[in-house]
Structure 1
Amino acid sequence: MSAPVGPLLAQLQQLPARSRQGINDLRRRLFQQGEKPKKEGQFLRTSLSVHRPVWITATGGVYTSLAAVYLTMRYLKRVR
């Protein structure tokens, strides 16, 4: 009956060391999160610069569509 108690005591003695290791891992993750947005921000800037022609074309299309709607509404007033 004392045989199962030995491994249990050994695991209980290792518990503080494992919990310190877990706390250290958590602390590292929390403080390294400050570095991640910099990398994501760099990725976002790179992505926007790569897709700049697409954004310019899309903006031009939206502007043209809004101008067409505005002119249509303006000329529909004169139709009545």
Structure 2
Amino acid sequence: MSAPVGPIMQQLATLPARSRQGLSNLRQRLFQQGEKPKKEGQFLRTSLNVHRPVWITASGGVYTSLAAVYLATRYLKRIR
């Protein structure tokens, strides 16, 4: 059982055109003149504001863990 070769060849024929289009889009994004849209910056600010409690909680957890490790190593030195 062999697969039909016709559709595969058609897809291979359209590949160079699609890759040229993709490269054109990439070139436009990389070398775009002007500023970025304001929506991206606004989204980032909004996201950080929404997740502020998570960052505060995580920072407190890291601080507590590091303090516990420091105290444990300090007291383990006295055991010797």
Q: Does the residue aligned with 1:69 lie in a helix, a strand or coil?
A: helix
* Percent pairwise identity: 75
Structure 1 residue 65: deviation in Å? 0.3
TM-score by length of 1: 0.56
Unaligned runs of at least 5 residues, structure 1: 1-25
1:1-80 equivalences in 2 (<5 Å): 30-31=32-33, 34-36=35-37, 38-80=38-80
Q: Which amino acid in 2 is paired with 1:75?
A: Y
Rg comparison, structure with higher value: 1
After TM superposition, the score normalised by the length of structure 2 is 0.56
**5+ long unaligned stretches in structure 2:** 1-27
Q: RMSD of the alignment, in Å?
A: 1.9
User: How many equivalent pairs are there?
Assistant: 51
